[in-house]
Structure 1
Amino acid sequence: MKNNIGLKGKQIMGYLSMYINDSDLNVWHLSILTAILGLGYKQGDRRRIKVSRSKIMQLSHVNTLPTYHKYFKQLQDLGYIKYTPSYHPGYKSEVKLCKKRLSQNI
């Protein structure tokens, strides 16, 4: 039987396997990253993903703002994501997946 996972699906699985193998990440980091990847998959984009805090919290099952902010910031500090906030109510913020950090874990 032929595998029906497309190129985007394979790349997401590659990202996930790299994240899982990084001992610096805990379950909260993985949950947030998985939510971001899921949004990117739905949007058809692998690197620049339009996000909102409420959507990431919903998808990652992170229920408190302090937890969300702590681990989201750590992902930025670790170099996994670059966050570009939007202060305009009509535009979502953007998260960019950083290849540099991903390539260090290969």
Structure 2
Amino acid sequence: MNTAENSMKKPVNFIHQFLSAMDKISEEKSFNPTHVSLYVSLFTRWNLNHFRNPISINREEVMTISKIGSKNTYHKCLKDLQKSGFIDYLPSHNPMKGSQINMLKISTTTDTSTEQVVDKYNTTTTQVVSPSLNNINSINNTKNIDIGSNKNSTKKFKPPKLDEVKNYLKEKSKEYELQKKEIDQEAEKFLNYYSAKGWIVGKNSKMKDWQAALRNWLLNYKKFNPSDTKQNQAGHLHNNEIKDYDIPL
């Protein structure tokens, strides 16, 4: 039994065969992209022939599909593929008759099943293709999202009640120089304002800490509502005090 017949003893699994070939090609240090494109074009014709050997090829057609522009490069790649055990090249040496190729079945060191080849996480067998970095990152990101969501669920924001806001303002009354009347007023203003906004801060961010938001509220309140003392000082020139201007200075 020749090599081609022996290679077809078992049915060809498309995925297993293609991945095994790509893995073998990656180990060939002398191969370049033209070897890969030529093998893929031959593999495609083999698949169209229902994985029956031999397949008949036309040089011009195969060169067009594999994007190889030089006849010398084409023949060199065919010989390299044959030498490395990918194909059995049967040239016709007749321009009126196409050459033939036997596609050889590629096996890995450990002949795994299709399920084992596709399994990205099986580290006990020889794998044809290593796990994709994007797949690994995707799994890690999913885990991180799950962990983060669990942490956030333990600190879910809850809008404060009016008494809670007033009590916090009382604690900060000395720091922000608040009077009792101002505490009641600002507590209601703060609660009404953010309740109407759905407890959104900035453009579209859900509030996480209402006490921090309340401190910012007080900073703006002091900025736009100066104390009565300062207002009196600013209006000191406009007073009703009666003076005697006949007294010399």
Return the TM-score normalized by structure 1.
0.70
Q: How far apart in 1 are the matches of 2:75 and 2:95? A: 20
Q: How far apart in 2 are the matches of 1:29 and 1:38? A: 14
Question: Could you say what the CA RMSD is over the residues aligned between the two structures, in angstroms?
Answer: 2.6
Q: How far apart in 2 are the matches of 1:74 and 1:18? A: 13
Q: How far apart in 2 are the matches of 1:47 and 1:22? A: 24
**Could you say if the C-alpha distance between residues 47 and 26 of structure 1 is closer, same or farther in structure 2, counting changes exceeding 3 Å?**
farther
The question of 1:42 aligning with 2:48 is answered yes
Q: Is the 8 A contact 1:40 1:46 kept in 2?
A: yes
1:46 Cα deviation after fit: 5.2
Give per-residue Cα distances to partners, 1:2-57, cap 9 Å, x unaligned. xxxxx435433433333234334221111111110011112222543221111210
3-state SS, counterpart of residue 63 of structure 1: coil
Q: How many residues are treated as equivalent by the alignment?
A: 97
Tell me which residue corresponds to 2:29: 23
Tell me which residue corresponds to 2:101: 95
Q: Is the 8 A contact 1:84 1:94 kept in 2?
A: yes
* Identical-residue share of aligned pairs (%): 25
Tell me which residue corresponds to 1:4: none
> Which residues of 2 match residues 1-106 of structure 1 at below 5 A?
7-45=13-51, 47-86=53-92, 87=94, 89=96, 91-99=97-105, 102-103=106-107, 106=109
3-state SS, counterpart of residue 55 of structure 1: helix
Q: What runs of 5+ residues in structure 2 fail to find an aligned partner?
A: 1-12, 110-249
1:97 Cα deviation after fit: 2.0
Return the TM-score normalized by structure 2.
0.34
Q: Is the 8 A contact 1:37 1:46 kept in 2?
A: no
Structure exhibiting the larger radius of gyration computed from Cα positions = 2
**Could you say if the C-alpha distance between residues 63 and 88 of structure 1 is closer, same or farther in structure 2, counting changes exceeding 3 Å?**
closer
Q: Is the 8 A contact 2:78 2:89 kept in 1?
A: no
Higher strand share: 1
Letter in 2 for 1:81: I
Tell me which residue corresponds to 1:3: none
Q: Is the 8 A contact 1:82 1:98 kept in 2?
A: yes
Q: What runs of 5+ residues in structure 1 fail to find an aligned partner?
A: 1-6
Letter in 2 for 1:23: K
